[in-house]
Amino acid sequence: MDRLFGINGIAGLLIAVVVLLSLVGIFGTCAVKIQQKQATNFYKIESQNSIEQNVKDASVYYKNAKE
C-alpha cells in the first residue's frame, strides 16, 4: 500500500493533473486577456494599391490606428 500513494501512484497522477490543469487555466486566461486587448487595436493600411505581393517588410504599409 505504500506505493499506491507515492509519487508514482495516485498522488503522482493527481499532482500531474493539477499542474497541467493550472497551466491550461493560466494560459487560457492570458490568451483571453490578449484577445480582448487586441480586438480593439485596429490598423490602417496606407497606399493599398501599391503593395507588392512579395514584401519583406510589410510593416511599412500599415500603421496602428490608435496612434
**8-12, 15-19, 34-38, 46-50: the lowest-pLDDT one:** 46-50
Residue 59 confidence (pLDDT): 61
Domain span at 30: 1-46
Q: Cα(18)–Cα(26) distance, rounded to whole angstroms?
A: 12
Three-state secondary-structure class, residue 62: strand
Q: Residue 17 domain-assigned? A: yes
Q: What is the pLDDT of residues 52-63, one digit of tens each?
A: 666 676 666 566
For residue 1, pLDDT beyond 60: no
Residues near 15 by beta carbon (within 8 Å), at least 6 away in sequence: 7
pTM of the model: 0.57
Q: Residue 13 domain-assigned? A: yes
Q: Cα(50)–Cα(16) distance, rounded to whole angstroms?
A: 54
Domain count, the chain: 1
Q: What is the pLDDT of residues 6-24, one digit of tens each?
A: 677 888 889 999 999 999 9
